[in-house]
């Protein structure tokens, strides 16, 4: 199964929503977590409506509208979103009100807005769209699950244009809880020096990336995207190598066919060791890059990698800030994304030239 990415939009800790820049104006961030660079939301939503939107909904709407505008689509046939933790700020707000009010006289607003499908629902309400609308909540596989459903809808002719998104936010409270279990780093660091940091855990982040997918190529097409491969808790590097080779073989490719591999290096030694071994052995002849020093780590961070790969494919340039082993070829035909989340969720996503 394949689909064309005809429009993209991303809100992240860097200036990724602007069409005029492609990671040529990145800034170093000294922090214990990476929060989004807020765009001018008034360009997408009226101030009156904006007041009632939480941060995660705002950044999702901005990214979704950007993707739709690029693809010249006013009404998608389906809206699919993937999120690992959903609306954390509203969830915390509701739970705190439960505690502060002794479980009495609670307003339902925060609870209603805390559900995971709030994002897809808000986008549909804005568009007055009554089509297929589904949210996948599957931890480190949330975005991949939504992507797979999108491709199935297109392949079966149930939809012509699908709006797909991957979204997660971070709050101080959720970050604090995660640091206690070793998921995220405790101390602030320079994100550009992520691979040099030796603290336990990953650098926390957040973001929203949306894509307009279609079964047909258009003049706005960025790349083709194929069905992802996911596997949980592989027992060894040999198993990982085998799964990667099987995945590529199913696409009539080999490791040598991959022009660029985007690895999810996040500063945590366990997954980063796996990336390093794959980079030095299986993909020793491919150019390599990484991205989580720009986005941070979150359950759907792979959606940022898809946005990045799509931009690379269309522009034909690999930004200096993400390069590890430099790309020396003339054309990029195959980009492979290999992501590990929570040291358990492994996924492969392939983008090819449109």
Give the global pTM: 0.95
User: Closest Cα partner for 267 from 296, 227, 232, 288?
Assistant: 296
The parts of the chain modelled with pLDDT lower than 50 are none
Residue 114: what pLDDT? 76
Decide if 313 contacts 267 (C-beta within 8 A). Answer: no
2-222: CATH class: alpha beta
Using an 8 Å Cβ cutoff, are 73 and 7 in contact?
yes
- pLDDT tens across 104-153, in order? 777 777 677 778 888 999 999 999 999 999 999 999 999 999 999 999 99
pLDDT at 217: 96
Question: What's residue 5's pLDDT?
Answer: 98
Residue that the structure tokens 């796996």 belong to: 274
- Looking at residue 219, its pLDDT comes to 95
Q: What's residue 328's pLDDT?
A: 82
CB 11 within 8 A of CB 309: no
Burial of 37 (0-12, 13-18, 19+ CB in 10 A): middle
Q: Spelled out in words, what is the top-level CATH class assigned to the domain 224-353? A: alpha beta
Which residues touch 132 (CB under 8 Å, ≥6 apart)? Answer: 77, 78, 79, 80, 153, 158, 159
Would you call 262 helix, strand, or coil by DSSP? Answer: strand
**What would you measure as the largest C-alpha separation in the chain, in angstroms?**
65
Please name which of 302, 332, 294 lies closest in space to residue 314, comparing C-alpha atoms: 332
Length of the chain: 354
Q: Which pLDDT value is given to residue 80?
A: 98
pLDDT of residue 18: 87
pLDDT number for residue 66: 97
> Cα(280)–Cα(229) distance, rounded to whole angstroms?
22
Question: The tokens of 108 are what?
Answer: 């339902």
Residue whose C-alpha is closest to residue 144's, from 313, 311, 305: 305
2-222 shares its CATH topology with 224-353: yes
Annotated domain spans of the chain:
2-222, 224-353
Residues 81-116 pLDDT 10s: 999 998 888 887 778 878 887 777 777 776 777 788
For residue 329 the two structure tokens come to: 């070829």
State the pLDDT at residue 255: 96
Q: Are 5 and 53 in contact (CB under 8 A)?
A: no
Confidence (pLDDT) at 333: 95
At residue 283, the pLDDT reads: 97
Nearest to 59 by CA among 168, 141, 132: 168
The pLDDT, as a whole number, for residue 102 is 79
Beta strands per DSSP E along 198-316: 207-214, 223-226, 229-232, 260-263, 287-290
In this prediction, residue 46 carries a pLDDT of 87
């Amino acid at each position: 199964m394949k689909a064309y990415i005809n429009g993209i939009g991303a809100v992240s800790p860097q200036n990724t929503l602007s069409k005029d820049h492609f990671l040529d104006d990145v800034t170093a961030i000294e922090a214990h977590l990476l929060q989004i660079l807020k765009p001018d939301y008034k360009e997408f939503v009226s101030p009156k409506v904006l007041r009632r939107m939480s941060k995660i909904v705002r950044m999702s709407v901005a990214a979704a509208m950007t993707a739709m505008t690029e693809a010249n689509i006013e009404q998608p046939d389906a809206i699919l979103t993937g999120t690992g933790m959903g609306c954390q700020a509203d969830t915390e707000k509701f739970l705190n009100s439960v505690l502060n009010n002794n479980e009495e006289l609670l307003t339902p607003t925060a609870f209603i807005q805390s559900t995971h499908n709030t994002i897809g629902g808000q986008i549909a309400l804005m568009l007055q769209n009554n089509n297929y609308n589904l949210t996948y909540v599957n931890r480190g596989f949330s975005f991949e699950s939504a992507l797979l459903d999108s491709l199935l809808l297109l392949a079966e002719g149930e939809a012509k244009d699908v709006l797909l998104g991957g979204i997660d936010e971070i709050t101080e409270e959720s970050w604090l809880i995660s640091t206690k279990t070793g998921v995220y780093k405790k101390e602030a660091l320079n994100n550009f020096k992520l691979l040099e940091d030796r603290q336990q855990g990953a650098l926390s982040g957040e973001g929203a990336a949306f894509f307009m997918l279609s079964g047909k190529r258009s003049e706005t097409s960025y790349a083709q995207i194929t069905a992802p491969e996911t596997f949980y808790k592989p027992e060894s590097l040999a198993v990982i190598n085998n799964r990667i080779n099987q995945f590529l073989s199913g696409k009539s490719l080999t490791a040598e066919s991959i022009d660029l591999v985007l690895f999810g290096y996040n500063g945590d030694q366990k997954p980063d060791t796996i990336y390093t071994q794959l980079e030095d052995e299986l993909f020793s002849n491919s150019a390599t890059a990484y991205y989580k020093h720009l986005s941070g780590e979150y359950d759907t961070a792979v959606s940022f990698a898809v946005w990045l790969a799509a931009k690379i494919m269309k522009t034909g340039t690999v930004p200096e800030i993400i390069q590890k082993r430099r790309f020396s070829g003339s054309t990029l035909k195959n980009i492979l994304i290999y992501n590990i989340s929570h040291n358990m969720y492994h996924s492969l996503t392939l983008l090819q030239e449109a």
